[in-house]
Every structure is written in structure tokens, then in C-alpha cells.
Amino acid sequence: QVQVVESGGGLVQPGDSLRLSCTASGWPLNYYAIGWFRQAPGKEREGISCISASGWTTYYLDGVEGRFTISRENAKNTVYLQMNSLKPEDTAVYYCAAERPTIPPGSNCPLPVEFESGFWGQGTQVTVSS
């Protein structure tokens, strides 16, 4: 089974950038669709981005599209979330999750609910504050 670990969070000012990493072990990450989720204090966890196992399809929540970019680097078994123009409302714990593997790699992004039975990391804190 795959294990995923998030990294790259931190404290930044509005307008700054961060790049989050989701690194897999135990199974090649390219067999999994990967979703990025976040949970702000007092709010429900929301799906913000997804990349298909094949890397051909991506999804972005309306509030982050144009600022965030998801990508794969299969040689490093890693999926990135590049976050630019960060806003205070982006403050949250960010999680990555791997859906079940598919062979050959699937070309679609699963719905957020499909990640509920997947494999989740521990989260990384992103704080955007002046």
C-alpha cells in the first residue's frame, strides 16, 4: 500500500508563494490519482485540487484556480502544489490523499468523496498572515 507524506508548509505573508510536496512510498505514485485538501479552523475539509494518475487531467477549486498549480514529478514519486499569491483565507492544514491504484493509470480526477477510502498524509500547516 502507498504511504504519502506532505511537506512544504509554513508561515508566509500575503502575496507570497509556497510549494507543497506529496511524496509517496511503498508503491509508485503514478498509479494513483492525487488530491489536495485543506481544512481551516472551524470549517469542513474541502478538496482544492486533483491530478489524475496519468497526469493528463487536473481540477482546481474556483477559489484557487489561477493561483495554484498541481503537477507530478514521477521520477521523484512526488506531486506538487505550487501556491502563488497566497491570501489569509488560504490558511489551513493541507493534506494530500491517494485514491486506489489503477493499472494502467487512470486519466480522470475522482470526485472528492472517492478519496475518503484512500490513503492520507498527516497534513502540513500553511499560515498566511501579515
36-40, 58-62, 107-111 — which is least confidently predicted?
107-111
* Per-residue pLDDT at 58: 95
* Residue 42 near residue 108 (C-beta atoms within 8 A): no
Instruction: Report pLDDT digits (tens) over 79-130.
Output: 999 999 999 999 999 999 999 887 888 889 998 899 999 999 999 999 999 9
* Residue 25 near residue 7 (C-beta atoms within 8 A): no
* Residue 34 near residue 94 (C-beta atoms within 8 A): no
Instruction: Report pLDDT digits (tens) over 62-74.
Output: 999 999 999 999 8
- Residue 4: exposed, middle, or buried by beta-carbon count in 10 A (0-12, 13-18, 19+)? buried
